[in-house]
Structure 1
Amino acid sequence: MKPQNWAFSAPDCRGAVNLLATLFLVFCCTLAQAQEQVNAQQSVSRIKQAEFIISDSPTIPPASANWQPVLLPHHVPKPADFELIHYWYKTTFEVKAGSEPLWMLFPQLLSGGDVYVNGALIGEKPSASKRAQVRWYLPELWLIPPLSLHEGSNEIEVKLAIREPFTSFGEIDIGPEKMQRNTFNQLLFWEDTTADISTALCMLAGIFIIIFWARRPQEKLYGMFGVCVLFWGLRTLLLRTPVVSIDFFLLWRFSYYFTTAGFIVLISIFMLKFSDRNNIVYNRVLIGYWFIGCTAFLAIGMPIRHFLEAFWLTGFLPLNLYAVACILIYAARQRTHNAVSMGLAILFALGLSVHDLAVQEAWVDWPEIYLMHLGIPAFLLVMIGILLDRFLDSLAQVESVNEQLELRVAAREVELKQSYEQLGKLGRAHAATEERHRIMQDMHDGVGTQLLSTLMMAQSEELPQKTMVALLQECLDDMRLVIDSLSPDDCDLLPVLGNFRFRMEARFRAIGLNFEWRNHSIPDELELEPDAGLQVLRILQEALANTLKHSQAKNVIVELFFYPHSLCIRIIDDGVGFVEATQSKGRGMINMRARAQKIGASFKIKHTSPGTEVVLDIPLL
C-alpha cells in the first residue's frame, strides 16, 4: 500500500475524528481526576495499611499469629505450580460517635473473599477454589451494619484464596453512602461498562471490516485490521470472564495467550504496512515468536505461565516499539491528518498497555485497574475516519467524473444536433432530388410516351378524330394520375382512389359499360407513400384500360377490401378473358407485375366464368 493511498482531503471528516479522539482522551483522564476528587473528601477514609497471613483457617487467626504488615495495594507472592493459597488480611478504621451509616468500598477485589467487620460477616464474593478460578473486575460496595460497629477502633478481616500470578489486595474506602456511591458508579463505568462497550465495538467493527475486505479483497490492510480488532475483542471477552472451571482453564488460558499475542503481531504488521515499510523478515519473526510461545504453553502447561507473562509477552515490546517508531516517522514525514491521528492513537494505546503491564507485574504500587481496553476504540475512531475520508474522496471523484461526463455529453449533444441538422438538410435535398427524378421519369414514361405516340400518329394524317380524342384523353388521365399520387402534403391513398374512381366511372359510362366500385370496411384514412400510391394507380389504370380495349365486357366491378395490415383490390369483368386477348401484346401483364413487385405487393390474374379477375394484395405498415 503506497502512502498516497492514505492521504485524503476531507477536512470535515478529519475534524470530527480529531474531536472524537480528543473527547476519548478526556474520558480516559476523568478516571484519575475523579479518584483524586473522591480522595480529597474528608468524609471518606482510605485504608492503605494492613496485615496479612497465609492460612487456610476457617476462622480469623488470633492476634498472636504471624501477621505481617503490608502497604496496600499488596501484590501477593506468585504461587508455584498452580497452587491454591489462602490468605487472611486485617486492618482497622476509626468510628466517631454519632456518625452516619458507613459503607465499605473495595475499588478492586480481584480474587473475591469473605469480608468481616469485628468478626461479623458483612459481605462475600466467591474466591478461587479447587474446582474454579475467579477474577473479578468489578468494584464492591457493602453497607457496614451499624450493630457491628462501636466507637473507636474497628477491625476489618478479609479471607481469600488465589492461584493466579497477577493478583493483588487493594485499598479500602470507608465513608457515607453518597460519596461511596459516586465513586462506585465511576469505577463501575470505567472498569465494566467501558470494557463491555469496547468489546462489543471491537467484535462488530471487526466483523464489519472483514465483510468490507471480503467485498474488496485488494484492500488487504483493512482485512488485517479487521482480524486484529476481532482478536482484541475476543481477548477482552476471555480476560473478563469472571469464573472459569479448572477443567477448561488450560484451554481458556491458551485462548487468552493466542488472542493477546495475535493482536500484538497483527497490529505491529498493520503499522508497518500503514507506514509503507512492510518487512517480510520482521513479519516472519513476529509470527514465529507468536506460535512458538503458544505451542510451548500447550506442551508444558501451567508451570510455564509465569515465564510467558513475565518474559514472553514482554518480548513483544521491542518488536512492537519498532513498528510504533516506523509509524511515528511516517506521520512526521507525511504530516497528513490521517497519519498523525494514527500515530497519536498508537501512542495512546501503547501508554495504556505499558500501564497495564506495570500494574500486572507490580512494577509500581498503583491500583490494579486495567485500561488497555480503552485504547482500541482510538484505533477504531481513526480507522473510521480513514474509511470516511476514502468514502468522501470517492464521492468527490464520482462528482468530478459526473461533471466531466455532463460537460462531454452536453458537447456531444451539440455536435449531434448539428450533425442531425446537416443530415436533415442533406436528406431533404436528396429527397427533393429523388422526387424530381421520379416525377421526371414518370412524366417521361407515361405522359411523354403517350404524347409522342399521338404526335406521330397525327403527323401521318391518317388518324381519325375519335382515335385522336381517345389518345389525348389517355394522356390527360395519365397526367392527372401522376399529379394526384404525388401530392406533397398528404400520404392518404383514399382521396387519390376517389379521384381515380370518379374519372373511371365517367369514362365507362360514356362508352355504355356498367362500372361498379365497392368498398369493404373502409378506414378513416389509408397512408401510403406517394410512389407506392402511384404504382397502385398505374396497376389499376392498366388493368381497366385492358378491360376497355380487349375484354369486350359489359360489366366491370372494382372491390376494395381493407384489413388491419393489408389492402386487397379485385377487378372483375364478364368479358372474353383478359389473358388470351392480350397475350399477343406482351407488355401489359409484365408491367403490372413489375410495379406490384416494386411495392412488395402480390399480383394475380385468373380466369372466371365468364371473364377475368385481377387481384392485387398490398401490405400496409
Structure 2
Amino acid sequence: MPRLLGSLGISLAVVLVLAVLVSLVPGQVFRPIEGARIFDRVSVCPFGGSGCQPGQSPAPAALPFHLRSDHGDGIHMARFTLDFARTGPADGVTAVFLPRFSDAISISVNGDRLTPAPWLSGDGRNFHHWHRPFIATLPNAGLKPQGNVLAIDLAADGFQDISLYPLYVGDAAALDFAFQLAGIARVGSARVNFSLVMLAGSALLIFWVMHRRDMIYFWLAAASLASAVVCYHWVYPNLITNYRSWITFWNFAAAFQIWCTLSFVCILLEAPCRRFRLVAIALLAAGAAGLCLLHPDVFRLGLAVYQLGFLLLTLLMLSTLVLHRSATPALNFGVLFGLYALALALAFGQWISRHILPDWAPALTSTLIPVVFILSLLWVIFFQLARSIARYENLLAALQSTINDKTAELQATYSRIARQDKIQAIDEERQRILLDLHDGIGGQLVNMLAYMSTQPKQDKVLETAIEDALRDMGLMIDSLEAGDSIATQLGLLRGRLEPLFARHHVDLAWQIEADPHLPGAGPSQNLTLLRIVQEAITNAVRHAQASRITIAASCQSISVTDNGSGFEPSSPERRSAESGGIGLTGMHRRARAIGAELIIESSTAGTRVDLSWDRPWGNAPAS
C-alpha cells in the first residue's frame, strides 16, 4: 500500500504540473482581420427565441459569454444582437464569421432570418455545431449603410452551456479565408485524428487476429476504435438522435478507451491487476447506465462525476506504470508515462473548463488528446517492432551459436568416425599381415627347420639363424597382437624363448612391478624395445653361458640381469654383430630411437642391461 500511494502521489503531482502549464498556454486569440470588424460586446436576451420577453430588456455582455440553464430538461435559448455597418459597395457581399460558439445557431439581419433554426427541424443529430466555425453571407443590396441589426439565436440542451465568442463582420472574401483556416484547425484536424485512429485500430485488430496470443495488440486495437468514437463526435452528427443518450455513449467510449489502455499497460508490465480491471469496467458500465436513468436536472452533475471517475482511472493507470516501471525499459516507461500524463492533463483542463471555470484551458487542447494517443500508439508499435527485431536477432544469434556448436560436434563426430575407420582399416591390414607372416614366412621357416632335422648332416649356424628369424617374426606378431601392453608382450616373448632356455638349462626369474609404458607408445616402439630385451637375453644365453636370468620391469624401466661370464662393454668385438646378434652398437641405436637410455654393466659375476625412459619422448641422449 505505501508503494501504491507513493506512485499515486508521483503521478498526481506530474499531472497537476502539466495541467497548470496547459492552462498557461494562450487560448484562441481573435486577431483583427483586414476588411472586417471584430465585435467583442453584444446585447443579450436569455430565454427569448424571437426577442426579449415582455418586461425584459437586452443586457450588455462582453465576449466570450457563457450562459448556463437553471434546468436540465428541454432546450434553452438566448438572442445576441449588435449593430453593424455595411462593408463595401452596394453590389458587394458582407459576411458574418463566428469562429466559436455553442451549441446551435440561427441568424437574422434586420428582422429577416437568413439561416434556419436547427432545433426546429426535429432532427437532433444535426442540432449541435459547437465544434464548427460558422459563416453567413449578406448581400449588400439588402443592407443599410448604417444601423443594420444582426440577431444571433443560440440554443443548447438543458445540460449544455450557451457560449458566444468574439465574431467578425466584414468583407466576405477575407472572412471566408479565415473560416477555411478555422475549419482546418478544428474540423479538419478532428477528421485526420478520426481517420488515423480508425486505421490504427483496424490494422492492430488484423495483426491481433494473426497473432492471437499477444493480447497487447487486441487492447490497443480496442482502445483505438473507442478513440474513433470520441473523434467522431467532433466530426459528424451524433449517431443517436437523443443527444443526452449520445453524450452518455460518447463518454462511455472515452472511459472504455482508458480502460483498454489500462489493460494494455497491465499486460505490458505483467502487473497483477485483473481483478482491478474487472471492477473498473463494471463501475464504468454501471455509471453509464446510471446516467441514462438520472433526472435531467442532475444529469449535468452526474456527467461531471462520471468524467471525473474515468480521469481517476487514468491516474491509477499512471500509478500502475510507476509501480511496475522496472518491468519495462526506462525509455519505454518514460515515453508512455509522459504521453499518458500529458493526455490526462489536457483532459483534466477540459473538465475544469466544462464544469468549473469556462475557458480555463484552451479549447483546441481537446483535439490534442487524440493526437497524444496516436503518438503513444506509434511509439508502442515502434517499441514492439524494435523489441521483436531485437528478439529475432537474439534468437538468430542463439540459433547460429547452436548451429556452430552442432557443426563442431558433427565435425568432431566425422573426425572420430574417420579415425575409427582408419584404425579399423589399420587393424584389418595388421591382421592380414599377421596372417601372411604366420601362415606364409612363418610356415616356410618351420618347414625349413623340419627339413633340416631330417638331414644326416646338421648345419647349426643355419639352424640358429632360422630360429632367430622365427623368434624375431614372433616378436613382430606379438607387438601387433598385444597392443600397447609391454608386460603382455614380455610374457609372449618368454613363451617363445622357452625352448632356448630349456636347451641351455637357463632359469628365468620375473620381477614385474608395473606395466612399462613408453611415451608415444605404439607397435613400432614396443617392437624396438622388445628387440633390445631379446638381444640382451640371447647374448646372456649364447655368449655368457648364464644359468639364471632375471627380468625386472617398472613403469619407466626394464632391466635384464644374468650370472654369466661377463664381457668388456668397450671391446670392439662385442660391439659388432659378427656373432649373429645386432651387437651393442645396434642396441644403443635402437634405444635412442625410442627415446630411452641404455646402460650396460658387466663383470665376471655377470651382466646387467638397464633400459630407462624417464625423459619425455623425443629427448633421448645424444650418445
CA distance in 2 between partners of 1:205 and 1:282 (Å)? 27
Distance 1:396 1:114 in 2: 60
Equivalent pair of 2:314/2:344 in contact (CA under 8 Å): no
Matched residue SS, 1:166? coil
- For 1:236, the equivalent position in structure 2 comes to 231
Aligned pairs for 1:26-105 within 5 A: 36=29, 39-41=31-33, 43-54=35-46, 66-78=57-69, 80-95=71-86, 101-105=93-97
1:356 paired residue number: 350
Of 222, 225, 232, the residue aligned with 1:227 is 222
Moved more, 198-207 or 321-330: 321-330
Q: In the TM superposition, what are the counterparts of 1:206-217 in structure 2 within 5 Å?
A: 206-213=201-208, 216=211
Instruction: Answer yes or no: is the 8 Å Cα contact 1:224–1:270 preserved in 2.
Output: yes
Map Cα deviations across residues 301-352 of structure 1 (whole Å, 9 max, x no partner).
6455223223332344445434445546877998822222222212321232
Give CA deviations for 1:96-127 in whole Å, capped at 9, x if unaligned: 67697432211134433321223344444623
Residue 49 of structure 1 deviates from its aligned partner by 1.9
8 Å contact kept, 1:166–1:361:
no
Secondary structure of the equivalent of 1:184?
helix
In structure 1, distance between residues paired with 2:361 and 2:147? 26
Q: What letter corresponds to residue 47 of structure 1 in structure 2?
A: F
Q: Are 1:192 and 2:187 counterparts?
A: yes
CA contact (8 A) 1:79 1:85 kept: no
Which residue number in structure 2 is paired with residue 562 of structure 1?
none
For 1:182-331, what aligned pairs fall within 5 Å after superposition? 182-213=177-208, 216=211, 219-238=214-233, 240-242=235-237, 246=241, 249=243, 251-267=245-261, 283=277, 286-300=280-294, 302=296, 304-324=298-318, 327=321
Distance 1:433 1:412, change over 3 A: same
- Judged with a 3 Å threshold, the aligned counterparts in structure 2 of structure 1 residues 148 and 381 are, in CA distance, closer, same or farther, namely same
Residue 174 in structure 1 maps to residue 169 in structure 2: yes
Instruction: Name the residue aligned to 1:148.
Output: 142
Please state how far the C-alpha of 1:156 moved relative to its aligned partner: 0.8
8 Å Cα contact 2:71/2:296 also seen in 1: no
- The residue number in structure 2 matching 1:337 is 331
CA pair 317-423 structure 1, distance change in 2 beyond 3 A: closer
User: Against the structure 1 CA distance between its residues 404 and 268, is the aligned structure 2 distance closer, same or farther, given a 3 Å change threshold?
Assistant: closer
**SS of the residue aligned with 1:364?**
coil
Distance 1:310 1:355, change over 3 A: same
**CA positional deviation for 1:157:** 0.8
CA deviation profile, 1:429-457 (whole Å, cap 9, x unmatched):
64576589789999x99xxxxxxxxxxxx
Q: Measure the CA separation in 2 of the matches of 1:314 and 1:405.
A: 52
Kindly tell me: are residues 49 and 332 of structure 1, through their superposed partners in 2, closer, same or farther at Cα, counting changes over 3 Å? farther
Report the Cα offset of residue 375 of structure 1: 1.6
TM-score of the aligned structures, taking structure 2 as reference length: 0.56
Gaps of 5+ in 2: 1-21, 440-623
Structure 2 vs 1, CA of residues 146 and 329 (structure 1 numbering), >3 Å: closer, same or farther? farther
CA contact (8 A) 2:346 2:365 kept: yes
Q: Which residue of 1 aligns with 2:597?
A: none
Q: Is the 8 A contact 1:113 1:160 kept in 2?
A: yes
1:119 aligns with 2:111: yes
SS at match of 1:375: helix
SS at structure 2 position matched to 1:88: strand
Match of 1:484 in 2: none
Q: Report what 1:423 is aligned to.
A: 417
Rate the CA distance shift 1:308–1:200 in 2: closer, same or farther, 3 A.
farther
Task: Pick closer, same or farther for the CA change 1:70–1:191 going to 2, 3 Å.
Answer: same
Q: 2:128 corresponds to which residue? A: 135
| C-alpha separation in 1, matches of 2:215 and 2:141 | 66
Amino acid at match of 2:200: A
Distance 1:401 1:356 in 2: 47
Q: Deviations over 1:353-390 (max 9, x none)?
A: 13332343362247994543432332332343233233
Asked whether the 8 Å contact 1:128–1:163 carries over to 2, the reply is: no
Taking a change above 3 Å as real, the CA distance of residues 390 and 335 of structure 1, as seen in their structure-2 partners, is closer
CA deviation after TM superposition for structure 1 residue 293, in Å:
1.6
Q: How many residue pairs get matched?
A: 427
What code does the residue aligned with 2:300 have? Answer: H
- In structure 2, C-alpha distance between the alignment counterparts of 1:96 and 1:298, rounded to whole Å: 49
In the TM superposition, 1:468-617 aligns within 5 A as none
Q: Distance in 2 between matches of 1:180 and 1:378?
A: 31
**Residues 1:316 and 1:424: Cα distance change in structure 2 (over 3 Å):** closer
Aligned-pair CA distance for 1:300: 4.2
User: Could you say which residue in structure 2 is the equivalent of 1:5?
Assistant: none
Q: Distance in 2 between matches of 1:190 and 1:42?
A: 20
The residue type paired with residue 37 of structure 2 is S
Tell which deviates more after alignment, 283-292 or 341-350: 283-292
Residue of structure 1 equivalent to 2:382: 388
Counterparts of 2:331 and 2:305 in 1: how far apart (Å)? 36
Contact 1:108-1:369 within 8 A present in 2 as well? no
Aligned to 1:4: none
Q: Distance in 1 between matches of 2:116 and 2:285?
A: 40
Instruction: Give the drift of 1:135.
Output: 0.8
Structure 1 unaligned runs (5+)? 1-27, 446-621
SS at match of 1:80: coil
CA distance, structure 2, for counterparts of residue 244 and residue 428 of structure 1: 86
Deviation (angstroms), 1:39: 0.4
CA contact (8 A) 2:106 2:154 kept: yes
Look up the equivalent residue of 2:156 and give its one-letter code: I
Secondary structure of the corresponding residue to residue 127 of structure 1: helix
- CA–CA distance in 2 between the matches of 1:49 and 1:63? 23
Relative to 1, partners in 2 of residues 1:235 and 1:129: Cα closer, same or farther, differing over 3 Å? same
Partner in structure 2 of residue 596 of structure 1: none
> Structure 1 pair 226/311, CA: closer, same or farther in 2 (3 Å)?
same
TM-score, normalised relative to structure 1: 0.56
Relative to structure 1, the CA distance from residue 93 to residue 338 in structure 2 (aligned partners, 3 Å threshold; closer, same or farther) is farther
Deviations 1:246-279 (A, max 9, x none): 5x55653442242233234444565577677655
Structure 1 residue 428: Cα displacement: 5.1
Report the AA paired with residue 117 of structure 1: V
CA contact (8 A) 2:109 2:149 kept: yes
* Structure 2 contact 156–162 (Cα < 8 Å) conserved: no
How far apart, in 1, do the equivalents of 2:223 and 2:346 lie?
17
- State how far apart, in whole Å, the 1-side matches of 2:94 and 2:263 are: 52
SS at match of 2:246: helix
Residues 91 and 156 in structure 1, CA contact (< 8 A), matched pair in contact too: yes
